[in-house]
Chains A and B, each alone.
Chain A
Amino acid sequence: MALAKITQVSGRAVPVRGDDLDTDRIIPARYMKCVTFDGLGEFMFYDVRFDEQGNQKQHPLNEERFKGATILISGNNFGCGSSREHAPQAIYRYGIRAVIAEGFAEIFFGNSTTLSLPCVSVSRADRETLQQMVEKDANTEITVDLEKKTVTANGKVFPCDIRESARQALTSGHWDPIAELLESGKKVDEVADKVGYMAVR
């Protein structure tokens, strides 16, 4: 299965401030009542963007100048809580192609990588600088470079980090592992025999 190699993501960015933004916040549970992921994009951060009557709240995600942003910048422990893949699916389907944050929750990070959505970490100070830059000028062009492990904003370069296995999977076009997993079918049967508890009863 030939998959796209994700080496660089460039575009404008939208700041979503706050630490510990959990997956319930990213996609409220009521929107998980579905049997497909279609259409989840419009509900991304729904309760952050809208009040109970459906009126827009004051938030960068509602600002015209951030429309069309392809990079999201947030705080520490982004995507904590529920393992729902609906969260990165909503982010991806909204049009985001990379997330920059101080840190990511384990399950969210893995789910995102498998969808070819790179999650890169930057220091708290650099995250603040980046958010301020885009808040000041929404047209700030940001580039996340997975080969150089940098984030560039208006020519200014910031170091970023990403787990090596995820970086390799993305840059080599192996972010969806299904083909590789299927290859070792026979080996799986051998290990299943060996562990001693998987026989049909």
Chain B
Amino acid sequence: MGKTLFEKVWDAHTVTVLPNGQTQLLIGTHLIHEVTSPQAFAMIRELGLKVKFPHRTFATVDHIVPTDVMFEPFADPLADAMMKELRKNCAEFGVTFFDRNTGKQGIVHVVGPEQGITQPGTTIACGDSHTSTHGAFGAIAFGIGTTQVRDLLATQTMALGKLKVRRIEVNGKLRPGVYAKDVILHIIRTLGVNGGTGFAYEYAGEVFDNFTMEERMTVCNMSIEGGARVGYVNPDEKTFEFLKGRPYSPQGAEWDKAVARWKSFASDKDAKYDDIVVIQAESIEPTVTWGITPGQGVFISENIPTIEASPESEKALIKEALEHMKFEGGTPIKGKKINVAFLGSCTNGRLSDFQEAAKYLKGRHVAPGVKAIAVPGSQVVAALCEKLGLDKVFTEAGFEWRAAGCSMCLAMNPDKLVGDQLCASSSNRNFKGRQGSVTGRTLLMSPVMVCAAAVTGEVSDAREVFKA
């Protein structure tokens, strides 16, 4: 009987089985950022411990950095304290830090892959639920809490229960104007926001074979929004091509050895899965969330659901969502007036996201009254975009072109919604208050759909707006 990639990686990294039945798993790569690490460093300091593998620990700063003001100290003293704390901890414990002056700083899930740190057949963990992103390379990547960050700093291992594996095949060809973001929003809508609890998702099928690495990252990124802590795609030639020549990728003779090892981790043809779900690509349309969970999505052509027509078990949540969003059930999502357009985040803040968006923004302008910001996921992405002149396309279209960071995805930096603003957002969470205003409202969608909303001032079908 064959094995899945998940099982192979799990077995290769198993240290021992603990008395309670959990596995002590070696984590090859530990990524850290300023929000979930300070307490962990304090804990190991208190225990008199050192970082066991400092050369396998990489830090960056993303959540709290302002994206419009470049100098320090930051205006927010709390954010500034976190910045200084991370710098101090990295220096004291010998951890590589992609600081703001390195040209490599950015959102941790953008930085890892672009530096070549994220590699197939490895285990990765980070105190951040979107760590599942790194699964796009055939790594098993876990979002963890701060106590586990402590465990990793001190031992490079953590205690975990083994996950089941669900293979999600998306077969066929996506229609024009349908993107990776639509695929994952559709998967979450179909399987539910907790459908993946206890599972690792293996994404497969023709659509994933054809996807670029950045598209695979977009899907793996939001696995956790479907309840799956881990999501991955089996490594293939595209994976190796992406990694070749990156700063932390194996070089010279080591490269061929690494590729051979990476290939060996791909799921066997006769691997046994705990569950298999098959989705037909042609059935997916551009998807927009209308509510307060990432599972509350509709196709752009559909209406927002009504309480009456919803299953009994969902009625309370749908009522709460409609009230918060100030939407009436049964009305089209299309045409809802937006106030803000946000392009960026660890889901959609990579070069190809800005390239695709710029393609359609060229020669167009953001609608009056709409605040639009484009925030590259890393300094490397920013530099690549600027080299291609994309920054000018965005600014000429009326977008603000910002510096790298998490920005308006979450309310830990100055980029926030105000009052009950409605935001067309390429980010990953539409939770109440997520974008910094208790009454703020978030609509998740693909970057091109964000641009369509930005130029028309309302939720629109990008295929109609851009005649694509």
Question: With A20-B193, A25-B432, A191-B13 as given contacts, are A110 and B21 in contact (CB-CB < 8 Å)?
Answer: no
Let me know if B20 and A29 touch, CB within 8 A: no
For chain B residues 1-36, which have a beta carbon within 8 Å of chain A?
Answer: 12-16, 18-22, 24, 26, 28, 35-36
Q: Which residues of A sit under 8 angstroms from B157, Cβ to Cβ?
A: 181, 184, 188
Q: Check if B190 is an interface residue, CB within 8 A of chain A.
A: no
Give Cα distance in the complex from A177 to B21, angstroms.
Answer: 12
Q: Which residues of B sit under 8 angstroms from A82, Cβ to Cβ?
A: 128-129, 410, 429
- B96 to chain A minimum Cβ distance, whole angstroms, is 11
- A198 to chain B minimum Cβ distance, whole angstroms, is 6
- B26 to chain A minimum Cβ distance, whole angstroms, is 5
Q: Which residues of B sit under 8 angstroms from A177, Cβ to Cβ?
A: 18, 22, 24, 151, 158-159
Q: Which residues of A sit under 8 angstroms from B82, Cβ to Cβ?
A: 33-35
1/0 per residue, CB under 8 A from B, across A18-46: the answer is 11101011001110111111000000000
> Among the listed A52, A164, A197, which residue makes an inter-chain contact with B21, where contact means beta carbons less than 8 Å apart?
A164
Let me know if A76 and B53 touch, CB within 8 A: no
Let me know if B13 and A83 touch, CB within 8 A: no
1/0 per residue, CB under 8 A from B, across A127-148: the answer is 0000000000000000000000
Let me know if A176 and B147 touch, CB within 8 A: yes
1/0 per residue, CB under 8 A from A, across B62-103: the answer is 011000000000001011011001000000000000000000
Q: Check if A60 is an interface residue, CB within 8 A of chain B.
A: no
Q: Check if A16 is an interface residue, CB within 8 A of chain B.
A: no
Let me know if B316 and A18 touch, CB within 8 A: yes
Give Cα distance in the complex from A84 to B40, angstroms.
Answer: 12
Q: Which residues of A sit under 8 angstroms from B81, Cβ to Cβ?
A: 35
For chain A residues 83-109, which have a beta carbon within 8 Å of chain B?
Answer: 83-86, 88, 103-107
- B314 to chain A minimum Cβ distance, whole angstroms, is 8
Q: Check if B144 is an interface residue, CB within 8 A of chain A.
A: yes
> Among the listed A85, A194, A198, A200, which residue makes an inter-chain contact with B145, where contact means beta carbons less than 8 Å apart?
A85
> Among the listed B12, B14, B76, B129, which residue makes an inter-chain contact with A107, where contact means beta carbons less than 8 Å apart?
B129
Let me know if A32 and B20 touch, CB within 8 A: no
- B253 to chain A minimum Cβ distance, whole angstroms, is 14
Task: Report 17 cross-chain contacts, Cβ distance below 8 Å, ordered by A residue.
Answer: A19-B316, A20-B317, A35-B85, A105-B227, A107-B129, A107-B224, A110-B145, A111-B148, A124-B313, A165-B161, A168-B19, A172-B19, A177-B18, A188-B156, A192-B28, A195-B12, A197-B28
Known: A184-B15, A197-B261. 5 other contacts (CB 8 A): A24-B431, A106-B229, A110-B145, A165-B21, A188-B157
